[in-house]
Amino acid sequence: MSVPIVRTVAELRTVVAGWRRSGASIAVVPTMGALHKGHLSLARTALQKADRVIVTLFVNPKQFNSAADLAAYPRTESEDAAKLAPVGAHLLYVPDAADMYPAGFATTVSVSGFSEGLCGAFRPGHFDGVATVVAKLFLQTGADFAFFGEKDFQQLQLVRRMVQDLDIPITVVPCPAVREADGLALSSRNVRLSPAERSVAPKLASVLLETAEQLARGSPVLPMLAKARAAILSAGYREVEYLELRGEADLQPIASIDRPARLLAAAWLGETRLIDNVKVSLTFPVAAKVHG
């Protein structure tokens, strides 16, 4: 058993119109396939909120920085469809690149501010590609709700800003990153890690968490960020692309914890680039007090 697949906007709209006639609410979970437990958890959460759940699978050429990266991206459509069936998703939408971007396609959605810095500084054009395809997927599905993981926090906030700015009638629902037992955030890139790299990988999350805790307790920002970088490198990561403290809502750089914040990082472990982020609350829970 596998989830039904549609490939054209016309087929998608016919299914959606039928659901609408019966009064069903609709959620979309945008993906590029190679589904892992994090994606399945987004679909499960979506099923709690909406009557019908569409998962989209489109390896979006506009968000890749290199043709080689695009070509190497895993395409596992039948496995993905089989994984979604037991979850209970209702439809898998797998558009064709030629239909998404036909000859003459000339529109780019660009969310200034949110697309620059952090990952945007290292992946030129990436977030314009994301915003353009996500806007199309929202308009094609006409969904009421969209589910995004907080693991890609910059993407999540950029999509929320776009929805607000363009008055797209959809509610973006953020979902916490799903992690392995040792703290490593789930990512389709994790399968590229060698066993030795896999044992080092969770250090990114643990350093971010420890640093966030220290920052919430009032430790000075710049020395803490420098210490965190050094800890990630000495654990075995080869390069820290960025490690920054940003305001949670607007993703602007901040130098003190005067509002809810996020600590975000991208780092290379061998040939694999991993990203992660953690919340830095003003009221970060401190370790339980020991009564004497």
Q: Please identify which residue in 15, 19, 30, 162 interacts with ligand PAF, judged by CB under 6 A.
A: 30
Which span (28-36, 107-115, 232-240, 260-268) binds ligand PAF, by CB under 6 A? 28-36
Among the residue ranges 24-32, 97-105, 163-171, 235-243, the one whose residues contact ligand PAF (CB under 6 A): 24-32
Dihedral angle, C-alpha 163, 119, 243, 151, nearest 10 ° = 50
Q: Name the minimum Å distance from CB 78 to ligand PAF.
A: 19
CB of 211 to ligand PAF, least distance (A): 25
31 binds ligand PAF (CB under 6 A): yes
Of the listed 39, 90, 126, 291, which one is catalytic? 39
| Residue 11 CA: distances (Å) to CA of 91, 155, 257 | 11, 28, 49
Stretch that binds ligand PAF, among 7-15, 26-34, 47-55, 265-273 (CB under 6 A): 26-34
Longest dimension (CA), the chain: 73
Rounded-to-integer distance, Cα 268 and Cα 289, Å: 37
Task: Tell me the C-alpha distance between 97 and 186, whole Å.
Answer: 27
DSSP one-letter code for 289? P
- Type of residue at 186: L
Distances (CA, A) of 176 to 95, 145, 148, 278, 285: 27, 16, 9, 10, 17
Q: How far is the CB of 97 from ligand PAF (least distance, A)?
A: 12
Q: Tell me the site size for ligand PAF, rule CB under 6 A.
A: 10
Sites for ligand PAF among residues 132-191 (CB under 6 A)? 133-134, 152, 155
Q: How far is the CB of 13 from ligand PAF (least distance, A)?
A: 20
CB of 134 to ligand PAF, least distance (A): 5
Nearer to ligand PAF, 186 or 207 (CB): 186
Region from 25-33, 102-110, 164-172, 195-203 binding ligand PAF, contact rule CB under 6 A:
25-33
Position with the least CB separation from ligand PAF:
30
- Give the span between the Cα atoms of 128 and 210, in whole angstroms: 33
Site string for ligand PAF, 246-265 (x = CB under 6 A): --------------------
Residue 32's nearest CA partner among 173, 222, 188 is 188
Q: Which is nearer to ligand PAF, 128 or 152 (CB)?
A: 152
Closest distance of CB 147 from ligand PAF, Å: 10
165: exposed, middle or buried (Cβ count in 10 Å: 0-12, 13-18, 19+): exposed
User: Catalytic site residue 39?
Assistant: yes
Q: Is 60 in the site for ligand PAF (CB under 6 A)?
A: yes
Four-residue CA torsion sign, 71, 77, 79, 81: positive
DSSP conformation letters of 245-265: EEETTT--B-SS-SS-EEEEE
Q: Does 204 bind ligand PAF (CB under 6 A)?
A: no
Query: Are 202 and 193 in contact, with CB atoms under 8 Å apart?
Result: no
- 133 DSSP assignment: H
Residues making contact with ligand PAF (CB under 6 A): 30-32, 60, 63, 130, 133-134, 152, 155
Catalytic positions: 39
